[in-house]
Structure 1
Amino acid sequence: MIGLVDCNNFYVSCERAFRPDLEGRPVGVLSNNDGCVIARSAEIKQLGVEMGTPAFQLKHRIRQRGLVLLSSNYELYGDMSSRVQAVLEEFAPQVEPYSIDEMFVRFDGFETAALTEHCRKLRQQVRQYTSIPVSIGVAPTRTLSKLANRAAKKIPGYGGVCVLDRDSTATKGLLQRIELGDIWGVGRRLVERLHTMGIRSAWDLRSTDPKRIRRKFSVTLERTVLELQGTPCIEMNDFDEPRQRIMTSRSFGKLTGNYREIQEAIRQHGQRGAEKLRQQGSLARAVLVFLKTNPHRQDLPQHSPHAIVELERPTDDSREILHAASYVLDRIFLERFAYMKAGVMLLDLIDADRQQLSLLDTPQSDADRQRSKRLMATMDELNQKMGRGTLRLGMPTDGAAWHLRCANRTPRWSTRWEELPKVRVL
């Protein structure tokens, strides 16, 4: 059996773990630069605040309804996710993180009859140790466990834990009530095409011949049908294929036309992209750099250039990638514009273990590659142990325009000594 543990309203729950005064209040967490709402508490949902609502549209509600809007605190969220995973690992032989707030848990060897009580204890332990509320769905396959988790979260009668058998009456009843669009991996266009075949619910899709689905659609949807029937055929490594391109970008905290500040942003994005490149064992053959002005500021001149440069050889060396990115920036930057965003994209990626060497390569070229590999490995190791940005190429300027705007960020309680909660003794 496979369980899916989903942290409820995760970002808000992380904030409430250190801010008990936020319990019962409408709380929203904002995107980068405090742009729009990306996480909502149950209370703020009841007020009709939708995902993606711009923060400036909610200013009047802060005064009228007592809304609390907080800046994203990703360092805190990442640490709390790790703590939840540590608790899960005490209850199950294998934990597979799927996202920052979702983790698959293997319950191989457990009796189905005992799983519900075991999961209730697990849920209580996570709540006790981390203050994060979770919902748990358990089923024979990952697709069914996703649907079980949805039921555990949405249907109060389950009490936060839903365990489904392959062919039980409860499984049939649940699948008959679930719409196609709520099935993992079934998008809107697929829903429309399936409707033309008379398939309108998860149970309808489960009852369809998998081979027929493969002929009309794809092997991916065939696997979904088999999973709904209780046959496991999706593994987590199915989702871990190396990306074909790597994009790193972010909007600035404020508009800027300062070349040095934009160069610093490109340098940070380039280094982060190179780190991701090395993590997935790839090399890049080309680098794209782009800039964007604010299209909503029609009172300002608009300019959104981009350009690509081909690298002399495929590489994952941060120095070579930054050199190429700096060259592209020099070509596209114009002083008379105020930019709001910049980014770096690494293109034409290849497997680092299957690099085809040039006929002009020399022993010295191979020695240079080995030195580069050792240097980058040392940088990555230090940054992993001591924290990202401990060792980097070039130092950013404090207060530069490209830094994130986080006016309402709470302290990083669990990862920064200087931000630990303080207790005043009277």
Structure 2
Amino acid sequence: MFALVDCNNFYASCERVFNPNLQGKPVAILSNNDGCVISMSDEAKKIGLPFGAPIFKWEEFCKQQNISVLSSNYPLYGDMSERVMKILAQFSPDIEVYSVDESFLELKGFDNINLEAYATKIRSRILQWTGIPVCVGIAPTKALSKVANKIARSNIKQSKGICIIDSEEKRVLALKWTKIGKVWGIGRRLKTRLETKGIITAFDFTQLASSLVLKEFSIVEWRLQKDLQGISKILLEDTTSSKKMIATTRSFERTFSNIHDIKERVSTFATSCAEKLRKQNSSCYMLIVMLRSDRHKKDEAQHSVSKTVVFSNPTNSTLTLSSAAVKAVSTIFKSGIKYKRAGVIVTGIVAEDNYQLDLFSTENPKHKPLMQAIDKLNRTFKADKIKLANQDLKRTWKMRQERLSPKYTTNINDVITVK
């Protein structure tokens, strides 16, 4: 059996833990630079505030409906997520942290365990220890546990936040209740393709011939179908393994048309990617730099471009990656364009100590001990004290966060004082 534990309205719930005045009231959380709504409480959903709503268009609506609008407080959410995941690890050694607010647990050897009581214990412990409400879906496969979780979430008062699919009758009823577009792994395009074949519910999808699914779709959809039929084909993933691609992309707090500002940002993003590579003991063969103008401003000239750099030797040196990224900006930057977003992606990732050597070209051997020294200093002082000269040395680059709540758990100055 698999259990999917999902935090309810996670960002809003984190804010409510430390600000009880938000309990029972509509709450909305904004994206980077206070752009659009990315999370909200059930109360805000009932009022009619849509996901993805640009706040500058919905500001008056939020005021009229008394919706508390907050900036994303990622340090708080990350810390609360870690606390929840540590608690979940107490209930099963086989855990896959699927996202910041949900995890799969594989329940091996639970044949004689009351699963409803176990799920209740999970919910109550997380709520008591963190203040975060969760729902639990339990089923024979990962895909079915996702379905079970959605059912539990759809009517918490009746389900008490728990749904267990442990019989064929329950599986069929759950799949008939689930629209095909709500199935885990079914995106917009795939939904449209399936609907043209008369597939309206998840149950309809399971009734397709497996040979047809393999022929007209792919092995991924075949595995999903088998999982929904109760035959486990989607296994837990090892989230501790090294990533195959690392990206750092950000929207700017305002648009930039000066190439020096953009080079500084891209250098900082490349530095972040290099640090992540070293943290997982990896190097990369390829770097991609992206620039984007503000697509929302239709009256301004638009430009969307990327540049790929291939290295003869894999590297995780901040010096090498930053230099390559800055040179790439020089080749793709277009004068007169107001850029709103940039990003750096490193891929072609290999183990730091396991790659093909080259007799004729090698990286400067001084880079490795230098990077080790920089990483040690930055870890010691818990901040990016050591930077490259082409980065902004005087100040930390910050997003626009005009509605930011305190960092209750990650900044000693913001810890709540009990009087």
Same fold (TM over 0.5): yes
State percent identity of aligned pairs.
Answer: 37
| Structure 1 pair 192–34 and aligned structure 2 pair: CA distance change class (3 A) | closer
Residues 76 and 415 of structure 1 are in contact (CA less than 8 Å); yes or no, is this contact kept in structure 2? yes
2:399 partner letter: L
Q: Secondary structure at the match of 1:162?
A: strand
| Structure 1 pair 303–88 and aligned structure 2 pair: CA distance change class (3 A) | closer
- Farther off after superposition, 1-10 or 330-339: 330-339
| Structure 1 pair 211–329 and aligned structure 2 pair: CA distance change class (3 A) | closer
Report the counterpart of residue 96 of structure 2 in structure 1.
96
Report the counterpart of residue 405 of structure 1 in structure 2.
400
1:295, CA displacement in angstroms?
4.4
Report the counterpart of residue 419 of structure 1 in structure 2.
414
2:177 partner letter: R
1:26, CA displacement in angstroms?
1.2
Q: CA RMSD in A?
A: 3.0
Report the counterpart of residue 224 of structure 1 in structure 2.
224
1:192, CA displacement in angstroms?
3.6
1:422 partner letter: T
1:377, CA displacement in angstroms?
5.1
Q: 1 CA distance for matches of 2:308 and 2:195?
A: 43
Q: 1:70-89, aligned counterparts within 5 Å? A: 70-89=70-89
Deviation string for 1:102-150 (max 9, x for gaps)?
Answer: 0112222223660101111210111111110100001111111111111
1:404, CA displacement in angstroms?
0.6
Report the counterpart of residue 389 of structure 1 in structure 2.
384
Report the counterpart of residue 109 of structure 1 in structure 2.
109
1:396 partner letter: D
Gaps of 5+ in 2: none
Deviation string for 1:198-246 (max 9, x for gaps)?
Answer: 4432223334443442233222122112212222221233888876654
Q: 2 CA distance for matches of 1:92 and 1:288?
A: 39
Residues 251 and 340 of structure 1 are in contact (CA less than 8 Å); yes or no, is this contact kept in structure 2? yes
1:293, CA displacement in angstroms?
3.8
Q: 1 CA distance for matches of 2:370 and 2:139?
A: 46
Report the counterpart of residue 149 of structure 1 in structure 2.
149
| Structure 1 pair 217–399 and aligned structure 2 pair: CA distance change class (3 A) | same
Report the counterpart of residue 118 of structure 2 in structure 1.
118
Deviation string for 1:148-179 (max 9, x for gaps)?
Answer: 111110134211011111x3322221111112
Residues 95 and 104 of structure 2 are in contact (CA less than 8 Å); yes or no, is this contact kept in structure 1? yes
Q: Secondary structure at the match of 1:421?
A: coil
Report the counterpart of residue 11 of structure 1 in structure 2.
11
Q: 1:303-318, aligned counterparts within 5 Å? A: 306-318=306-318
Q: 1:240-259, aligned counterparts within 5 Å? A: 245-259=245-259
Q: 1 CA distance for matches of 2:338 and 2:385?
A: 30
Deviation string for 1:350-394 (max 9, x for gaps)?
Answer: 565653222325xxx48x55x544554565566567646355435
Residues 267 and 323 of structure 2 are in contact (CA less than 8 Å); yes or no, is this contact kept in structure 1? no
Deviation string for 1:182-210 (max 9, x for gaps)?
Answer: 22112233334434544432223334443
Q: 1 CA distance for matches of 2:42 and 2:295?
A: 34
Residues 178 and 201 of structure 2 are in contact (CA less than 8 Å); yes or no, is this contact kept in structure 1? yes
Residues 24 and 43 of structure 1 are in contact (CA less than 8 Å); yes or no, is this contact kept in structure 2? yes
Alignment of 1:41 with 2:49, yes or no, is no
Q: 2 CA distance for matches of 1:112 and 1:64?
A: 53
Report the counterpart of residue 355 of structure 2 in structure 1.
355
Residues 311 and 324 of structure 1 are in contact (CA less than 8 Å); yes or no, is this contact kept in structure 2? no
Q: How many residues align?
A: 417
| Structure 1 pair 216–263 and aligned structure 2 pair: CA distance change class (3 A) | closer
1:68, CA displacement in angstroms?
1.1
Q: 2 CA distance for matches of 1:93 and 1:351?
A: 27
1:256, CA displacement in angstroms?
3.5
1:316, CA displacement in angstroms?
1.7
Residues 32 and 72 of structure 1 are in contact (CA less than 8 Å); yes or no, is this contact kept in structure 2? yes
Report the counterpart of residue 204 of structure 2 in structure 1.
204
Deviation string for 1:225-277 (max 9, x for gaps)?
Answer: 22122222212338888766543221111234455543331221011122344
Q: 1 CA distance for matches of 2:163 and 2:263?
A: 51
| Structure 1 pair 203–334 and aligned structure 2 pair: CA distance change class (3 A) | closer
Q: 2 CA distance for matches of 1:112 and 1:181?
A: 35
Alignment of 1:29 with 2:40, yes or no, is no
- Farther off after superposition, 186-195 or 69-78: 186-195
| Structure 1 pair 45–95 and aligned structure 2 pair: CA distance change class (3 A) | same
Q: Secondary structure at the match of 1:236?
A: coil
Q: 2 CA distance for matches of 1:386 and 1:125?
A: 34
Q: 2 CA distance for matches of 1:112 and 1:352?
A: 46
Residues 374 and 386 of structure 2 are in contact (CA less than 8 Å); yes or no, is this contact kept in structure 1? yes
| Structure 1 pair 238–215 and aligned structure 2 pair: CA distance change class (3 A) | farther
Q: Secondary structure at the match of 1:237?
A: coil
2:161 partner letter: G
| Structure 1 pair 213–329 and aligned structure 2 pair: CA distance change class (3 A) | closer
| Structure 1 pair 141–381 and aligned structure 2 pair: CA distance change class (3 A) | farther
| Structure 1 pair 210–301 and aligned structure 2 pair: CA distance change class (3 A) | closer
1:69 partner letter: V
| Structure 1 pair 197–388 and aligned structure 2 pair: CA distance change class (3 A) | farther
Gaps of 5+ in 1: none
2:414 partner letter: E
